[in-house]
Amino acid sequence: MKSKKSESKYKTLNKGNLLIMSGPSGAGKGTVVSELLKLMPEVMLSVSVTTRKPRFGEIDGVSYFFVSEEKFLQMIENDELLEYDRHFGNYYGTPKEYVYENLMQGKDVLLEIDIAGAKQVKDKYPEAKLFFITAPSIDELKRRLVCRNSESENQLSERLLRVEEEMKRREEYDYAVTNDTVDNAVNKIIQIIKEMKNK
């Protein structure tokens, strides 16, 4: 495990901003992030580490860092992850060293993660800037989830309940961005990032 002295070295030397994008299901986070990266190629999307097997076309170190479960558990033990979770039997996490090294090089690093993961990162790296992406209203979020038609009725019910809980967390974020249209949401985020640079 890294010493506090070692970790503080990253915090004092970094020049880039750690940008966290999260929010409730149906907010359109993925679309907003994709468009943002097209318009701001200097922002680097962090590569996650996972225990799942590579899918066709995925490249180790580009799509994900693919590791064994034993290695992943060792990374948890050694405090090498900014955040992690387990989904459908596989672990996913954000490698701390990879993120910190890029921040120290002056790069802005972006993480698209869930609300629980965002809290883990903020606890470990308080300088992180949290963006809460949401739809104009809870009713609109629910409408988008229903229109996706990608889940069973039970799964949809669970997601709808979770949306209401997740919406209560927006006060924990540095910035709230309403995704009424992708262009509007992306332009607002770009403006905020540019203001960070000018401070």
Q: How confident is the model at residue 92 (pLDDT cuts 50, 70, 90)?
A: very high
pLDDT digits (tens, 9 = 90+) for 16-53: 999 999 988 778 888 999 999 999 999 999 989 999 99
- Which pLDDT does position 23 carry in this prediction? 86
- The reply to whether 68 falls in a domain is yes
Amino acid at site 131: F
- The reply to whether 4 falls in a domain is no
With a cut of 90, say whether residue 114 has pLDDT above it: no
Q: What CATH number does the domain containing 38 carry?
A: 3.40.50.300
**Domains contained in the chain, number:** 1
Q: Is 101 exposed, middle or buried (0-12, 13-18, 19+ CB in 10 A)?
A: middle
Kindly give the pairing relationship between strand 18-22 and strand 109-112: parallel
- The reply to whether 3 falls in a domain is no
18 in Cβ contact with 126 (< 8 Å) = no
- The reply to whether 62 falls in a domain is yes
Q: Which domain holds residue 48?
A: 11-198
With a cut of 70, say whether residue 14 has pLDDT above it: no
Q: How confident is the model at residue 100 (pLDDT cuts 50, 70, 90)?
A: very high
Cα–Cα nearest to 128, from 168, 94, 162: 94
State the alpha helices, DSSP H only, in the chain. 4-13, 29-39, 69-77, 96-104, 115-124, 138-148, 153-167, 182-198
* Residue predicted with more confidence, 84 or 142: 84
- The reply to whether 71 falls in a domain is yes
What pTM, to 2 d.p., does this model score? 0.80
Q: Which of 21-30, 92-101, 118-127, 169-178 has the lowest mean pLDDT?
A: 21-30
- The reply to whether 1 falls in a domain is no
- The reply to whether 49 falls in a domain is yes
pLDDT digits (tens, 9 = 90+) for 127-148: 999 999 998 877 787 787 777 6
- The reply to whether 153 falls in a domain is yes
